[in-house]
């Protein structure tokens, strides 16, 4: 019988064998996967590991603080917090094509890791929380032709010039298994149970050009949506729920005034591995109250729509 306790032991030995006395740098994205990878690797090699939290300004409300405090306070794992919002938002300016945005973000992550690796005297390995579905989906799509649907930012290897090897201890696992491993490693349930969040962050939830102003608007709408979901006791029944900010303005009326503001889309799906997904069937009353709160409380949004597309044919994220 295969258990997570055994997986943990085997992986720790494998990591030690791969790394030897080398130095490892691990990128934390705010998600469960990279956090679990970091804790596992830390258990294997201790202070040969440096964790880097790349704060690209594309996180959700309060996310950066939560991750930093989990690592520094609960685990006592040293963490370098790099504030690279300007670097990311600067490079995203003018980019509207989804793959161009993804490729820029992926390449910039690598640049940041390279810079941070130099600061700790060079690293021999880069660790990532890549999962099995990330590997598959960057190559082909279930049952479909062999084309790239999306370039997952953490798949596809490292540039030739870098003398770093990848450490990806979760590469064979599905999401539910990563959560089980996280529990096995003692991560708090509230962290392990978090909805998946993609490495490119809010950039792929803002179709069209990403700006700080649009990120701020989206962060507010997303926080209201998730707060309502939690208050209704629905968070754990949903695989992933989030708001998107559309590059479309429509006319509305608030009191005696005409408004001309952006449309916010709401998405919620159930899934077991992210490869296929069904729309979460909220009742109309719930969605109406979320829409009312968002329009009343978030300046810049005057209309809310719900996404009724399953995967396939839609993907979970909008880009």
Q: Which residues bind ligand XMP (CB under 6 A)?
A: 137, 150, 152-154, 196, 198-200, 240, 274, 311, 315-317
Q: What is the DSSP letter of 311?
A: B
Q: Which is nearer to ligand XMP, 45 or 221 (CB)?
A: 221
Q: Is 289 marked as binding a ligand? A: no
Only one residue has tokens 């490729």, namely: 103
Closest contact distance (angstroms) between CB of 1 and ligand XMP is: 29
Give the three-class secondary structure for 246: strand
**Burial (0-12, 13-18, 19+ Cβ within 10 Å), 144:** exposed
The dihedral through the CA atoms of 206, 208, 213, 214 has a sign that is negative
Q: Which is nearer to ligand XMP, 134 or 261 (CB)?
A: 134
Q: Is 32 marked as binding a ligand? A: yes
Q: Which is nearer to ligand XMP, 117 or 316 (CB)?
A: 316
Q: Phi/psi at 19 (nearest 5 deg)?
A: -85, -30
Q: Which is nearer to ligand XMP, 24 or 27 (CB)?
A: 27
Closest contact distance (angstroms) between CB of 20 and ligand XMP is: 28
Beta-carbon contacts of 318 under 8 Å, excluding residues fewer than 6 positions away, are: 204, 205, 207, 244, 265, 267
Q: Is 35 marked as binding a ligand? A: yes
| CB-based contact 170:37 (threshold 8 Å) | yes
**Token pair for 159:** 């540039």
Q: Is 30 marked as binding a ligand? A: yes
Closest contact distance (angstroms) between CB of 240 and ligand XMP is: 5
Closest contact distance (angstroms) between CB of 292 and ligand XMP is: 27
Q: Is 34 marked as binding a ligand? A: yes
Q: Is 29 marked as binding a ligand? A: yes
Cα distance between the two ends of the chain: 39
Closest contact distance (angstroms) between CB of 196 and ligand XMP is: 4
Q: Which is nearer to ligand XMP, 130 or 302 (CB)?
A: 130
Please state the residue numbers annotated as binding site for ATP: 29-35
């Amino acid at each position: 019988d295969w258990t997570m306790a055994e997986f943990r032991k085997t992986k720790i030995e494998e990591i030690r064998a791969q790394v030897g006395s080398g130095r490892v740098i691990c990128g934390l994205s705010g998600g469960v996967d990279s956090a679990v990878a970091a804790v596992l690797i830390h258990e294997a090699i201790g202070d040969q590991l440096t964790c880097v939290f790349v704060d690209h300004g594309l996180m959700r409300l309060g996310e950066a603080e939560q991750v930093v405090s989990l690592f520094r306070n609960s685990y006592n794992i040293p963490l370098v917090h790099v504030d690279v919002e300007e670097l990311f938002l600067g490079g995203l300016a003018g980019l509207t094509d989804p793959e161009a945005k993804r490729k820029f973000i992926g390449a910039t992550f690598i640049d940041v890791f390279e810079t941070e690796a130099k600061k700790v005297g060079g690293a021999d390995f880069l660790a990532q929380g890549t999962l099995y579905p990330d590997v598959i989906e960057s190559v082909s799509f279930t049952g479909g032709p062999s084309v790239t649907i999306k370039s997952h930012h953490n798949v596809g290897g490292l540039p030739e010039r870098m003398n770093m090897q990848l450490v990806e201890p979760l590469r064979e696992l599905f999401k539910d298994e990563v959560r089980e491993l996280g529990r096995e490693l003692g991560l708090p349930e509230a962290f392990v149970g978090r909805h998946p969040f993609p490495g490119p962050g809010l950039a792929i939830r803002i179709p069209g050009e990403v700006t700080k102003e649009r990120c701020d608007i989206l962060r507010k709408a997303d926080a209201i949506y998730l707060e309502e979901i939690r208050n209704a006791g629905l968070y754990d029944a949903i695989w992933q729920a989030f708001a998107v900010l559309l590059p479309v303005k429509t006319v509305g009326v608030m009191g005696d005034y005409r408004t001309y503001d952006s449309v916010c889309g709401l998405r919620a799906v159930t899934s077991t591995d992210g490869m296929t997904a069904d729309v979460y069937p909220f009742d109309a009353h719930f969605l109406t109250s979320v829409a009312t709160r968002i329009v009343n409380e978030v300046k810049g949004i005057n209309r809310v729509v719900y996404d009724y597309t399953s995967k396939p044919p839609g993907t979970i994220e909008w880009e």
